[in-house]
Amino acid sequence: MAPIKPISPLTPSPLSTMSTLQPLIISLLTCHLLLSGLPSSMAASGHGPQCSGPERGSTLRIFHVNSPCSPLRPPAGLSWEESVLRMQAEDQARLQFLSSLAGSRKKSSIPVASGRQIVQSPTYVARVQIGTPEQTMLMALDTSNDAAWVPCSGCIGCAPSTVFDPTRSTSFKTVGCQATQCQQVPNPMCNGSACSFNMTYGGSSIAAGLSQDKFRLATNPVADYTFGCIQKATGTSVPPQGLLGLGRGPLSLVSQAQSMYKSTFSYCLPSFKSLNFSGSLRLGPAGQPVRIKYTPLLRNPRRSSLYYVNLIGIRVGRKVVDIPPEALAFNPATGAGTVFDSGTVFTRLVEPAYVAVRDAFRARMRNAAVSSLGGFDTCYTVPVVAPTITLMFAGVNMTLPMDNILIHSTAGGLTCLAMAAAPSNVNSVLNVIASMQQQNHRVLFDVPNSRLGVSREPCS
C-alpha cells in the first residue's frame, strides 16, 4: 500500500544555449518503420523489429516503452485486462501529478488515493546521446514536464538499467550554487560548491546534482544542456533511463533549444492497437503542416508547464452534449481547464462532462447492457458500432473515429468506451486530452503564435 506523496514541480530557469536539431521521426510500440521521411528501401527492409538502425540525418526514433525495441518493457504475459488496468492505474498517478502542478513554487499536498502502488511510467521513450563521447539513454518524453533528469552512475535506488556515467564524459560540468538555474530547481542545496536538489515525482523522490552536458537528439547537439544527474531515488515512478521534458517551462527541451526550434514542435501518435506503431515528432517550424486548423494555446499561471486549450463543447454523433459550462471553463485562478498531454493514455473529463458524454454515448448504443472494467464504466459484450465523438475547441472540431474511442479485448470480446471521469479527489480538476484520443492526428504546438494545430493524419 503506497500512499501518493506530495509532488513538488520543478521550477525551471531561463537558459540560452542552443544549436540545431531538426525534424525527428518517431516510432512507437515497435520498430517496423514505415515513415514518410525514410527511404522506402529502409522502411521495407526486413520483418523483424529494427531496433538499432542508424538514426539518419535529423531523424530520431521514439519507442513506446513497451516496444519490442525497448529494454524497459515490462515482463511479457500480461493479459489484456491486466494491461488495461495497469495503464489506468498509471493514468491515475499521472492525473495526480498534473493536478499537483498547481501553485508553481509551493509543494502541493495531494490527498491519498487508493492503496495501489503508484507507477508513473513513461509512454514514449526516445534515444538521447549525452556527453563526450556519447552515452545513449532512452529517455521518456513528456509534454507536461519541464526538466530533464537521468540516473547517474553510483545512483542509490535507481532502477537496474543503463545509467549515465559523468566521469566518462569530458564535456560534463556541474552547475554552481550561485548559478541562476540553481535558484529555480525545487529544494536547492549546496553540495560543496555544486548545486543539488531534490524533488518528488509520482510516488518517488529523487536527489540530483544539477549538471550540464551535451545532449544530442538527432544530428545536431545542444551544448551545455542543463539536467539533473540523479544520485538517489526512492519508489518506482522514475522513468528507468530518465525523463526529457517537452513542457513550456524554461528548463524544457523546447526552451533550452529555443533558438533552434523556435518553441515549435508537432507529433503524430500512431494507432494504439497497431503492431506497427510508427509516427513522427518534428521539432522546429520547418516541415510543419501548412493546412491545419488552430485553436488558441493558453497559458495557465497555476500550471505554467502545461499546454492548455479552450474546449468549448463535445458532440456525440451530431448532437452537442449538454455540459455545464463550468466543467469546461478555463480558469487561471484555479488551474482548471483542458490540456493536451502525451503522458496520459485515456482521456479524462471532469465528472459532469464525462457523465453527460457517457450518457449520450450509451443512449446511442440503444442502452445495450453495460458492464465495467476497472475505471471504465461503459463496456459492452455485444458488437459495438460507436458514434463519433467530436471535441469542439475554439476554431477546430476534432472528430474522433471509432479507433480513438473504443478499446477492444481480443480475447474476452469486451469493448469499452476508452475515457473516464477525472478523479474528484485532486485539488483542481483538469480535462486531459490523452494519447489514445490523439492517435492518428498531427498535433502542432506553436508557442510563439500561441496556437495549437490539429489535423487528421494516419501515421500508423
Ligand X SMILES: *[C@@H]1O[C@H](CO)[C@@H](O)[C@H](O)[C@H]1NC(C)=O
Catalytic residues: 142, 341
Closest by CA to 217, choosing from 274, 300, 141, 120, is 141
Taking the complex as a whole, the smallest distance from the CB of residue 368 to ligand X amounts, in Å, to: 26
- Choice from 17, 153, 220, 274 touching ligand X (CB under 6 A): 274
- Choice from 159, 189, 329, 370 touching ligand X (CB under 6 A): 189
- How far is 40 from 380, CA to CA, in rounded Å? 41
205 is an interface residue for ligand X by CB under 6 A? yes
In the complex with ligand X, the residue whose CB is nearer, 122 or 166, is 166
Q: What is the DSSP letter of 77?
A: -
Residues 407-446 within binding reach of ligand X (CB under 6 A): none
Q: At CB < 8 A and 24+ separation, what contacts does 35-38 make? A: 35/59, 35/278, 35/280, 36/280, 37/280
Side-chain-side CA neighbours of 288 within 13 Å: the count stands at: 22
231 is an interface residue for ligand X by CB under 6 A? yes
Inter-residue contact 200 to 115 (CB < 8 Å): no
- The residue range among 69-77, 250-258, 273-281, 421-429 that interacts with ligand X, by the rule CB under 6 A, is 273-281
397 is an interface residue for ligand X by CB under 6 A? yes
Q: Which residues of 120-152 are buried (b: 16+ CB within 10 A; e: fewer)?
A: bbbbbbbbbbbbeebbebbbbbbbbbbbbbbbb
276 is an interface residue for ligand X by CB under 6 A? yes
Cis peptide before 39 (omega within 30 of 0): no
In the complex with ligand X, the residue whose CB is nearer, 20 or 153, is 153
In the complex with ligand X, the residue whose CB is nearer, 162 or 234, is 234
Cite the DSSP H helix spans in 168-304: 253-256, 258-261
- The residue range among 50-58, 61-69, 184-192, 358-366 that interacts with ligand X, by the rule CB under 6 A, is 184-192
Q: What is the DSSP letter of 418?
A: -
Q: What is the DSSP letter of 244?
A: E
Taking the complex as a whole, the smallest distance from the CB of residue 289 to ligand X amounts, in Å, to: 17
Q: What is the DSSP letter of 386?
A: P
212 is an interface residue for ligand X by CB under 6 A? no
187 is an interface residue for ligand X by CB under 6 A? yes
- Choice from 78, 223, 275, 286 touching ligand X (CB under 6 A): 275
In the complex with ligand X, the residue whose CB is nearer, 229 or 246, is 229
For residue 354, the surrounding DSSP H or E stretch is helix 351-364
Show the cell assigned to 119: 507507477
- The residue range among 139-147, 185-193, 300-308, 341-349 that interacts with ligand X, by the rule CB under 6 A, is 185-193
In the complex with ligand X, the residue whose CB is nearer, 5 or 248, is 5
- Choice from 141, 185, 384, 392 touching ligand X (CB under 6 A): 392
Q: Supply φ then ψ for residue 102, to 5 degrees.
A: -65, 140
Taking the complex as a whole, the smallest distance from the CB of residue 302 to ligand X amounts, in Å, to: 24
Grid-cell match 488551474, residue found: 335
Which parts of this chain interact with ligand X (CB under 6 A)?
Answer: 32, 187, 189, 191-192, 196, 198, 205, 207-209, 231, 274-276, 315, 320, 392, 395-397
